[in-house]
Amino acid sequence: MTPSQPNESRRSHGWMGIHRGHKARPLEWFAEKFIFLVSLSAILMVLLIFLFVAREALPVFFGETNTALVQKPIPPAEMDKHSPAELQAYLDLTPDQFTKMDKATLRDLMAVKVEAQDDIPENFRNDPDAKINTTEWKYLVAPHQWDDYKKPEYIWQPVGQIKKFNIIPLFVGTLKTTLIGLFFAVPLAVGAAIYVSQLARPRVREIVKPVIEMLSGIPSVVVGFFALLVLATVLQTVFHYETRLNAFVAGIALGFAVIPVIFSIAEDALTSVPRTYTQAALALGASRWQTAWQIVLPAALPGVFAATVLGFGRAIGETMIVLMVCSASVMSWSVFDSARSITTTIAAEMAEAVNGGPHYRILFMLGSLLFAATFLSNMAGDFVIHRFKQKLEGKK
Amino acid sequence: MNTITPSEYLPDRSPDTTRFTKSFRADKFDFWSFFFSGLTGLATLLIIGILAVILVNIIYNGWSAISWHFVSSIPKKDFFDANTTGVLPMIVGTAFRVIVMTIFVIPVGVITAIYLTEYAANTSIITRIIRAAVNNLAGVPSIVFGLFGLGFFINFVGKNMDKLLHNSGAVWGQPALIWASLTLAVMTLPVVIVATEESLKAIPPGLREASLALGATKLETILKIVLPQALPGIMTGGILAVSRAAGEVAPILFTGVAYYMASLPSHLSDQFMDLGYHVFVLSTQSPNIEQTRPILYATVLVLLLLTFALNIVAILIRARVRKKLRALQ
């Protein structure tokens, strides 16, 4: 369609006064380049998201943060014995701040630091936990026996004197709510997709499909509100569990948000199975259901699988529903206990976290893990759908 | 040979084939087929039922609590009080941030879609990367957009702007309406791109060919033939983006929303109150949930009317456009 071939546009001098390529139509040429540049913004945004979320989290990944309450104080007099990098880490400064300060300011800061160490209550000074840098990877992922506890435990407790940042409870909370949501949503959404694409009459299909897709138009904060006020009470009266707000309620509410995603992708995959498959099966005497279950569904299985994967990506990224329904971080696999997902933790604690402090960095670290997880599940889902469509087209 | 659709494949309609259908069709009543078909039908009904229960519950409870005074008044500091509270600042804040977002997202989204459908070669590696990026952007969790807004717009762009402009305090390097809007613009970019692309693809190639054959250049064809035809589709994309953004809370949590503000936002560097965030505050931080329940329902209803009405308008426009384009083809 493009009139200018590449070898023509390279020829910049006119031939017998006739200009070709971008010399002939400079406006067209500029417009095309401009449109191309603007369309790169989507790539730029993905890169920027990755860069800037990871940038804030880098100190945690490299183990540069230190939360130990009791540190070996360095007297200001011994300042010259240490390298600038050591001093900067010791004073919790960014490189930018560090280079701006002159020696006198640094000396004052160090004096303050020594005083602060002296101010720590006596009972903490002898506490072995107070000497621990809790942002080391060892404490982030492995259980640790804290002072008052009887056995090693996973604890996320970013407040108090000794901040505990074990991220395992958050992973468990995320998985718990997400899996409940998927167990609820996948059968319903896939069932409805089979019904709408294979069994329903065309007129019913035309009404039902947009109605189910309307569900995705409900803001997640409204779903969360509904779960908090109505669903929690209903489910408690049905299942008779103790805590009213728990991972189960959050999971079901997550399911509401995920159903339209899974439904529309699965329905799309089921509809794109060639009609000849269906016709052949029906001609051989199969019933409608047998055709749908034994012929169409296996043929569309990659698409349905991709729908589930994309639904998973949507569910682990959902914030407001879990934030409103349950919040306490407990290390428990029971579905009727509370749970705190990664997204919830970021949303609830970012306001309290000191800009640039260890807590802030760890929340960004969680964000970048979340980004990586959804990035991978999106890639996998898209890849499977792409292959599936190509295969169907090849067979047509 | 003509293909026969299954719905037409019924014995009584075609008397010639009755003999065969009798012997091939499972004309015995197949219990399991009936049972499982019924199950999928039930799943469909259940989903529709969930939607209906949510909507009916909110409309029923919210309708009695909503009033003109509620929609049009600015609340005092204690907005949990059902008699004096109002949601005007939240409506204004939500509308303000969404409008600013639209100004950024529509041009970029439409131009990207034009590139993808009109200029790009489908097989080239750069096109595939752009498509992958758009798909990925659509799947990034909304809270990560919030972190991005904080890390990039506020801590990087805003702080550097303050440095360059020699502002004494933090003017731009703090949560502000412009940063919330930009974060939402990044988030809704794929919505606009996908909707515009769909509407551009639906325009018959004959229109473009006719225009080119008459001597119009590519740019003229796009501006004068393609875009006017695609306008309803672009509007659909814009409306969907607005309705998605209006209901999102997670991306604006750290980039601009305020718990309470005495005045309406008037400047791009102001913070703002927001309907969705207000729903969150009312339902989780109320001192007395029974007393706040009516205003909570009323606020949810206002939010739902805003986002849902927009969604339905988008669906209607899309249905009409599809019908029109089918007639063109």
| Predicted local distance difference test score (pLDDT) of residue B80 | 78
Chain A interface disruption, residue of B7, B8, B14, B47, most A CBs within 10 A:
B47
Higher pLDDT among residues A124 and A266, named by residue: A266
Residues 6+ apart with CB under 8 A from A8: A20, A21
The most confident of the ranges A320-334, A363-377, B83-97 is A363-377
Q: Which residue of B has its CA nearest to A355?
A: B155
Q: What is the mean pLDDT of residues A140-145?
A: 77
* In CATH, B67-328 is 3.65.10.10: no
User: Which secondary-structure segment (H or E) carries A107?
Assistant: helix A103-119
Under an 8 A CB cutoff, do A370 and B43 touch?
no
Does residue A27 have a pLDDT over 80? yes
**Mutation target among A25, A310, A320 for the B interface, most CBs of B within 10 A:** A320
Selecting from B25, B136, B280 the residue whose C-beta is nearest the C-beta of A221 gives: B280
Contact indicator for A53, A368 with CB cutoff of 8 Å: yes
Closest partner CB to B151 (pick from A28, A56, A199): A56
- Determine the 3-state secondary structure of A153 from DSSP: strand
Q: Looking at beta carbons, which residues of chain B come within 8 Å of A249?
A: none
Q: Would you say residue B158 has pLDDT above 70? A: yes
Q: Would the CB atoms of A346 and B51 count as touching at under 8 Å?
A: no
Residues 6+ apart with CB under 8 A from A221: A320, A324, B247, B249, B276, B277, B279, B280, B303
Contact indicator for A334, A243 with CB cutoff of 8 Å: no
ipTM over 0.90: no
Q: What is the mean pLDDT of residues A92-115?
A: 73
Strands (E), chain A: 156-157, 164-165
Q: Looking at chain A from residue 241 to 300, which residues have their Cβ under 8 Å from any Cβ of chain B?
A: 256, 259, 263, 275-276, 278-279, 282-290, 293
pLDDT digit string, tens, across residues B248-281: 999 999 898 888 887 888 888 888 999 999 999 8
Q: Do A48 and B148 touch (CB under 8 A)?
A: yes
Decide if A24 touches B, using CB distance below 8 A. Answer: no
Mark yes or no for CB contact B6/A39 under 8 Å: no
pLDDT category of residue B23 using cuts at 50, 70 and 90: very low
Q: CA distances (Å), A340 to each of A112, A188, A328, A329, A348, in order? A: 37, 25, 6, 5, 10
Residue type, A128: P
Res B257: pLDDT: 87
What pLDDT, on the 0 to 100 scale, is given for residue B15?
A: 47
Across the range A69-76, mean pLDDT stands at 67
Angle CA A205–A211–A216, to nearest 5: 130
% pLDDT > 90, chain B: 40
Over residues A260-274, mean pLDDT: 92
Provide the percentage of residues in chain A whose pLDDT is more than 90: 28
User: CA–CA distance from A195 to each of A171, A192, A266, B43, B301 (Å)?
Assistant: 35, 5, 11, 9, 32
pLDDT band at B18 (very low <50, low <70, confident <90, very high): very low
CB–CB of B139 and A313 under 8 A?
yes
Query: Of A10-14, B177-181, B301-305, B317-321, where does mean pLDDT reach its minimum?
Result: A10-14
pLDDT, position B1: 43
Contact (CB, 8 A) for B89 and B105: no
Predicted pLDDT of residue A191:
95
| Residue-level pLDDT at A73 | 66
A:195-214 residues touching chain B, CB 8 A cutoff: 195-196, 199-202, 208, 210-214
Asked if A83 is an interface residue toward chain B (Cβ–Cβ < 8 A), one would say no
Domain ranges of chain B: 67-328
Of A35, A278, A289, the CB nearest to B111: A35
pLDDT above 50: residue B17 = no
Residue A88: pLDDT over 80 = no
Contact B308 A218 (CB under 8 A): yes
Q: Residue A285 and residue B26: Cβ atoms within 8 Å?
A: yes
- The answer to whether B200 and B226 are in contact (CB under 8 A) is yes
CATH of domain A168-395: 1.10.3720.10
Nearest to B24 among A2, A36, A284 (CB): A284
C-alpha distance from B152 to closest chain A C-alpha (Å):
6
Please tell me the predicted confidence (pLDDT) of residue B22. 43
> What global pTM score does this model have?
0.84
How many beta carbons lie within 10 A of that of residue B12, not counting itself?
Answer: 7
Question: Is A77 near chain B, with CB under 8 Å?
Answer: no
Three-state DSSP class for B13?
coil
Question: Mutate which of B19, B28, B44, B98 to disrupt the A interface (most A C-beta within 10 Å)?
Answer: B44
Least CB–CB distance from A195: residue in B43, B155, B311 = B43
Smallest CA-to-CA distance from A381 within A304, A272, A270 is with A304
Q: Which of A102-106, B229-233, B297-301 has the highest mean pLDDT?
A: B297-301
Whether residues B148 and A287 touch (CB distance < 8 A) is answered with no
Q: Are A223 and B303 in contact (CB under 8 A)?
A: no
Subunit contact B54:A226, Cβ cutoff 8 A: yes
The answer to whether A342 touches A304, Cβ cutoff 8 Å, is: no
List pLDDT tens digits, range B27-52: 567 788 889 999 999 999 999 999 99
- Closest-CA residue in chain A for B241? A217
Residue in A closest to B35 by C-alpha: A289
Using the predicted structure, report yes or no on whether residue A45 has a pLDDT greater than 90.
yes
Q: What is the mean pLDDT of residues A85-105?
A: 70
Q: Do B146 and A38 touch (CB under 8 A)?
A: no
Put simply, the chain A residues between 367 and 386 with a CB less than 8 A from any chain B CB are 367, 370-371, 374-375, 377-379, 382
Q: Any idea where the domains of chain A sit in the sequence?
A: 6-39, 71-119, 168-395
- The stretch A238-254 carries a mean pLDDT of 88
What band does A49 get if pLDDT is binned at 50, 70 and 90? very high
Distance CA A217, CA B319 (A): 17
Partner-chain residue, chosen from A40, A42, A256, that has the shortest CB–CB distance to B189: A42
Question: pLDDT category, A2, cuts 50, 70, 90?
Answer: very low
DSSP codes, B51-120: HHHHHHHHHHHHHHH--HHHHH----S-TT-TTT---HHHHHHHHHHHHHHHHHHHHHHHHHHHIIIIIS
pLDDT tens for B189-211 read 999 999 899 889 888 899 999 99
Q: What pLDDT score does A287 carry?
A: 86
Task: Give A-chain residues touching B14 at CB under 8 angstroms.
Answer: none
Q: Which residue spans within A125-225 are E strands per DSSP?
A: 156-157, 164-165
> DSSP states of A262-328 as a string?
HHHHHHHHHHTS-HHHHHHHHHTT--HHHIIIIIIHHHHHHHHHHHHHHHHHHHHH--HHHHHH---
Closest partner residue to B133 (CB to CB) among A42, A191, A195 is A42
Average pLDDT over residues A300-326: 90
Query: How many Å is the maximal CA-CA distance in chain A?
Result: 94
User: Rounded mean pLDDT of A49-64?
Assistant: 85
User: What integer is the mean pLDDT of B50-62?
Assistant: 93
Q: Which residue of chain A is at minimal alpha-carbon distance from B32?
A: A289
CA–centroid distance for A155 within its chain: 21
| B129 contact residues in A (CB cutoff 8 A) | 43
CA of A321: which chain B residue's CA is closest?
Answer: B280
Contact criterion met (CB below 8 Å) for B254 and A66: no
Nearest CA in chain B to A195: B40
What pLDDT shows up at residue B240?
A: 86
Cβ atoms of residues B269 and B172 within 8 Å: yes
A355 touches chain B (CB under 8 A): yes
- Distance from C-alpha of A21 to C-alpha of A14, rounded to nearest angstrom: 10
Facing residue for B24 by CB, picked from A201, A283, A319: A283
Contact present, B137 and B190 (Cβ < 8 Å):
yes
Secondary structure element (H or E) that encloses residue A189, with its range: helix A168-194
Is residue A145's pLDDT more than 90? no
More confident of the two residues A202 and A106: A202
pLDDT higher at B119 or A117: B119
Query: Which of A218, A234, A249, A368 has the highest number of chain B CBs within 10 A, making it the mutation to test binding with B?
Result: A218
Tens-place pLDDT, residues A57-72:
888 888 777 776 666 6
The model's pLDDT over A162-220, given as tens digits with 9 standing for 90+, comes to 778 888 888 888 999 999 999 999 999 999 999 999 998 888 988 898 888 888 889 99
Contacts of A5 (CB under 8 A, 6+ apart): none
Give the residue-averaged pLDDT of A327-351: 80
State the distance between the two ends of chain B, measured CA to CA, in whole angstroms. Answer: 24
